[in-house]
Amino acid sequence: MTAFDLRGERHRLKQLTDDGNTKLFTNRDGVECPACRTAFERLFVTERAATSFPENDGSRFCLLNESDAVYVFRH
């Protein structure tokens, strides 16, 4: 089953923002994206039903829809 253990990987990520419902992390230890199995650059986590993603430079991103939140991995 595809999943992402944010609690387990937390020490390998650096948190940039947290507004209560959304969080942004940067990958500082080559943590793998659960969708494509390559290291990602940024991880955006949202618990909102509707979210507008921050602008990016056109990089590929992967989406993981979990019961607690939606995880967006930018490469």
Segments of 1-75 assigned E as strands: 13-18, 22-27, 42-46, 61-65, 70-74
The residue (of 6 and 35) whose beta carbon lies closer to Zn ion is 35
Minimum Å gap between C-beta 20 and Zn ion is: 26
Residues 6+ apart with CB under 8 A from 7: none
Minimum Å gap between C-beta 41 and Zn ion is: 10
Which structure tokens are listed for 42?
A: 């940024």
Interface residue list for Zn ion (CB under 5 A): 33, 35-36, 62, 73
Minimum Å gap between C-beta 32 and Zn ion is: 8
